[in-house]
């Protein structure tokens, strides 16, 4: 299923992708495997766009397919057992990037893990993150971005958080198809991930350390 669904999404074959997704969700006990396929597809699509193999119209089409499948998955996520409250997470796709599939996957998994999540949406300017930190006093801030240009936007966001004296109050994790250890250091974040499940583990460890 995974390879067939991934191939259909990347080839922008909406009808086939939705058909495969429906069949799998009818038989699957957990929606998280499908979320991982969507994450991989989003990464591949972002890479193709960066290389000039995909254009804006392709991104829009891919986004619609991913959104439709995400909406199929949502009811199953809501039926998953939830853990007790562990901490508060503010998350958003940084300014200049409107991709939200990866972010939405993290939101769903974080809520299932017991986080209270404040989702700021997409194309979020640094000042909005600062305002949210002041208002909600989160344990963690998540910066998401699919495009290469998002790295600079992540850095600007972290710099603004530093300049307002809030940096020491939160842990910052960045995520998306273009992030790596080098980007993490450049941005000034505490951790990075291209895998939603790994990101949740990192955040859970942070809140455990805070309570010790």
pLDDT tens digits for 160-182? 999 999 999 999 999 987 899 99
Query: What pLDDT sits at residue 33?
Result: 80
Task: Show the CA angle centred on residue 118, arms to residues 134 and 140, nearest 5°.
Answer: 65
User: Tell me, what's the pLDDT at 3?
Assistant: 86
What is the pLDDT, as a whole number, of residue 195? 83
Residue 91 pLDDT: 98
Domain boundaries, the chain: 2-79, 87-211
The phi, psi pair for 143, rounded to 5°, reads -110, 120
Domain 87-211 has CATH 1.20.140.10: no
At residue 80 the predicted structure's pLDDT band, cuts being 50, 70 and 90, is: low
Fold match, 2-79 / 87-211? no
What digits encode the pLDDT tens for the residues 98-139?
A: 888 788 888 888 887 889 999 999 999 999 999 999 999 999
84 DSSP 8-state letter: P
Q: What's the pLDDT at 92? A: 98
* Of 56-60, 162-166, 185-189, 205-209, minimum mean pLDDT range: 56-60
pLDDT for 29 beyond 60: no
pLDDT tens digits, one per residue of 178-198: 899 999 999 999 999 988 888
pLDDT for the residue 78? 63
| 3-state helix/strand/coil string of 1-70 | CHHHHHHHHHCCCHHHHHHHHHHHHHHCCCCHHHHHHHHHHHHHHHHHHHCCCCCHHHHHHHHHHHHHHH
**What's the pTM?**
0.79
Region 31-49: mean pLDDT is 82
Cα 84 to Cα 68, 111, 115, 162, 200, distances in angstroms: 29, 10, 8, 31, 15
The whole-number pLDDT of residue 79 equals 62
State residue 157's pLDDT score. Answer: 98
Averaged pLDDT for residues 86-94 = 97
pLDDT above 90 covers what percent of the chain? 53
The CATH architecture annotation of domain 2-79 reads: Orthogonal Bundle (1.10)
Position 28 pLDDT exceeds 80: no
What is the pairing mode between strands 87-93 and 171-175? unpaired
Q: What integer best gives the mean pLDDT of the chain?
A: 89
Question: 151: Cβ–Cβ under 8 A, 6 or more apart, which residues?
Answer: 145, 178, 179, 183, 186, 187
* pLDDT score recorded for residue 38: 85
């Amino acid at each position: 299923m995974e390879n067939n669904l991934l191939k259909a999404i990347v080839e922008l074959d909406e009808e086939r992708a939705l058909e495969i997704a429906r069949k799998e969700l009818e038989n699957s006990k957990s929606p998280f495997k499908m979320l991982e396929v969507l994450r991989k597809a989003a990464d591949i699509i972002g890479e193709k766009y960066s290389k000039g193999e995909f254009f804006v119209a392709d991104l829009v089409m891919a986004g619609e397919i991913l959104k439709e499948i995400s909406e199929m998955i949502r009811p199953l996520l809501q039926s998953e057992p939830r853990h007790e409250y562990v901490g508060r997470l503010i998350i958003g796709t940084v300014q200049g990037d409107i991709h939200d599939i990866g972010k939405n996957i993290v939101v769903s998994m974080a809520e299932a893990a017991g986080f209270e999540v404040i989702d700021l949406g997409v194309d979020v300017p640094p000042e909005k993150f600062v305002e949210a930190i002041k208002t909600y006093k989160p344990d963690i801030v998540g910066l998401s971005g699919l495009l290469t240009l998002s790295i600079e936007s992540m850095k600007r966001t972290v710099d603004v958080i530093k300049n307002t004296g809030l940096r020491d109050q939160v842990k910052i994790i960045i995520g998306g198809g273009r992030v790596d250890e080098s980007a993490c250091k450049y941005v000034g974040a505490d951790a990075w991930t291209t895998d939603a499940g790994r990101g949740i583990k990192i955040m859970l460890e942070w809140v455990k350390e805070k309570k010790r």
